[in-house]
Homo-oligomer: A and B are copies of this chain.
Amino acid sequence: MRAVDVIQAKRQGREIEGEDLKALIAAYTTGEVPDYQMSAFLMAVVWRGMSEAELAAWTDAMLRSGIVLDFSDIPGTKVDKHSTGGVGDKVSLILAPLAVEAGLRVPMISGRGLGHTGGTVDKLKSIPGFQMELPTTRFRELVEEFGCGLIAQTNEIAPADRKLYALRDVTATVECIPLIASSIMSKKMAEGIDALVLDVKVGNGAFMRDVEQARLLSQTMIGIGARLGKPTRALLTNMSQPLGFAVGNSLEVIESIETLRGQGPEDLTELTLHLVLEMLRAAGPVADEAAAMNMLRSYLEDGSALRCFRKIIEAQGGDPRVCDDPEAVLPRAAHTVELRATASGVITHMNTEEIGHAAVELGAGRRTKEEEVDPAVGFYVHKKPGDTVVAGEPLATIHYNDERRRDACMARYAAAVTIGEAADHTHIPLILDRVM
């Protein structure tokens, strides 16, 4: 079938054979099908959507465009967690060692920060020496020996997705549930996992603004996982405020280590525990959930999860002393300043996307793909929605290296916070829904 016929079929809303979708992806990966045909096809998908069968074939073709890892000979259940991205989301750093302690194996391939959201790669790279660009042979060894490997996305995995993503970015075809779902799942299904847990963020700091869209995205990804034989589950979680208090790479590593010591922020701790519980459920039936949660909590309190994290850091070349005295080991900003409230009342609303952009202004994220992040900068959030505040009290502590960037950050942060009457604040639960 010619590419133009496949585009025509999608344009008309007709079902496309899996073989034709696979041929389209294969020819696009080699460059035989040009960008201008693929972008027309993608816009037709935005318009017409994709059936479950189409989506499974499309995702399968994308994941087979590169190497597909196979860890089936490594004993134990391999489970990963993927977050759709938020502000202050350092869950992976706590979750990976905790899941290993709970008996799972966690082959985790992470991305860099994207837009206003942070990325696990940027956070872990603030640990001196920590290597994430590892060959897949080394990744396998890590999973086998330590139960966990934490590596960065590579061109070898799902190259079709990388090429498609770059095209979608310039053709207004990013926001599209089947295309988002297949992009995420093609990378995850190539990781050699047995099951997957999704943390689908919902709210004003997330790509999904409303719970219905997030539920649809979750169901779509779960459907793909089911068809490709990898059980997938999702939690829909609140991203209308930063997760935890720390935003910025070094600061988030510090907060992650505090959490691994059992002294982390409540929202971050609870979400991580629930996501690990979901990973256990994805691996097999959990008879007594309360007992499982208590066991997971004990791994934080008795230091075993932190010891596991220390081993992983050491195995990947990082300085293990970060687990003992993170503030001494991690790069720190030269200056701090308090951003103070100009009015009294209750925080009724935080524009969390803007809070994320405020961190990018400081240098914690990238304004262009080429920019380097500054691992040291960021801020601690002191007041979140529902908190009472008195004029002059600190809303946040800004860690900065450059005054111009500090000013841009503070202006953007201040504008993102609304102080009003207690009656105007609506509490949003941490976990909005569970989808499987």
Which of chain B's residues has its CB closest to A3's CB? B170
Interface residues of A in 144-176 (CB under 8 A from B): 167, 169-173
Segment at the interface with B among A39-47, A207-215, A341-349:
A39-47
A171 and B37: CB pair below 8 A? yes
Q: List 19 A-B contacts (CB under 8 A).
A: A4-B169, A7-B43, A8-B172, A34-B35, A34-B36, A35-B36, A36-B36, A36-B39, A36-B171, A37-B39, A37-B171, A39-B40, A40-B42, A40-B43, A40-B171, A40-B172, A40-B173, A43-B44, A47-B47
Known A-B contacts A38-B36, A167-B36; the reply to A11 vs B172 at CB < 8 A is yes
Q: Which of B35, B43, B170 contacts A47 (CB 8 A)?
A: B43
Residues on the B chain within 8 Å of A170, using CB: 3-4, 36-37
Residues on the B chain within 8 Å of A172, using CB: 4-5, 7-8, 11, 40, 44
User: How many Å from the CB of A29 to the closest CB on chain B?
Assistant: 16
Residues on the B chain within 8 Å of A11, using CB: 43, 46, 172-173
Main secondary structure of the interface of A (DSSP, over half): helix
CA distance A26 to B292 in the complex (A): 63
Residues on the B chain within 8 Å of A7, using CB: 43, 171-172
Binary contact track A224-265/B, C-beta < 8 Å → 1, others 0: 000000000000000000000000000000000000000000
CA distance A39 to B171 in the complex (A): 9
Residues on the B chain within 8 Å of A3, using CB: 170
Further contacts, 20 of them, CB under 8 A, given A35-B35, A40-B43, A43-B44: A3-B170, A7-B171, A8-B172, A11-B43, A11-B46, A34-B35, A35-B36, A36-B36, A36-B39, A37-B170, A37-B171, A39-B39, A39-B40, A40-B40, A40-B42, A40-B172, A40-B173, A43-B43, A44-B47, A47-B47
A interface vs B, CB < 8 Å?
A: 3-5, 7-8, 11, 34-40, 42-44, 46-47, 167, 169-173
User: How many Å from the CB of A166 to the closest CB on chain B?
Assistant: 10
Residues on the B chain within 8 Å of A173, using CB: 11, 40
CA distance A42 to B7 in the complex (A): 12
Which of chain B's residues has its CB closest to A170's CB? B4
CA distance A88 to B350 in the complex (A): 69
B35 and A171: CB pair below 8 A? no
CA distance A297 to B44 in the complex (A): 51
Residues on the B chain within 8 Å of A43, using CB: 7, 11, 39-40, 43-44, 47
Residues on the B chain within 8 Å of A44, using CB: 43, 47, 172
CA distance A3 to B169 in the complex (A): 11
User: How many Å from the CB of A34 to the closest CB on chain B?
Assistant: 8
Residues on the B chain within 8 Å of A39, using CB: 36-37, 39-40, 43
User: How many Å from the CB of A371 to the closest CB on chain B?
Assistant: 19
Which of chain B's residues has its CB closest to A2's CB? B170
CA distance A43 to B173 in the complex (A): 11
Which of chain B's residues has its CB closest to A46's CB? B11
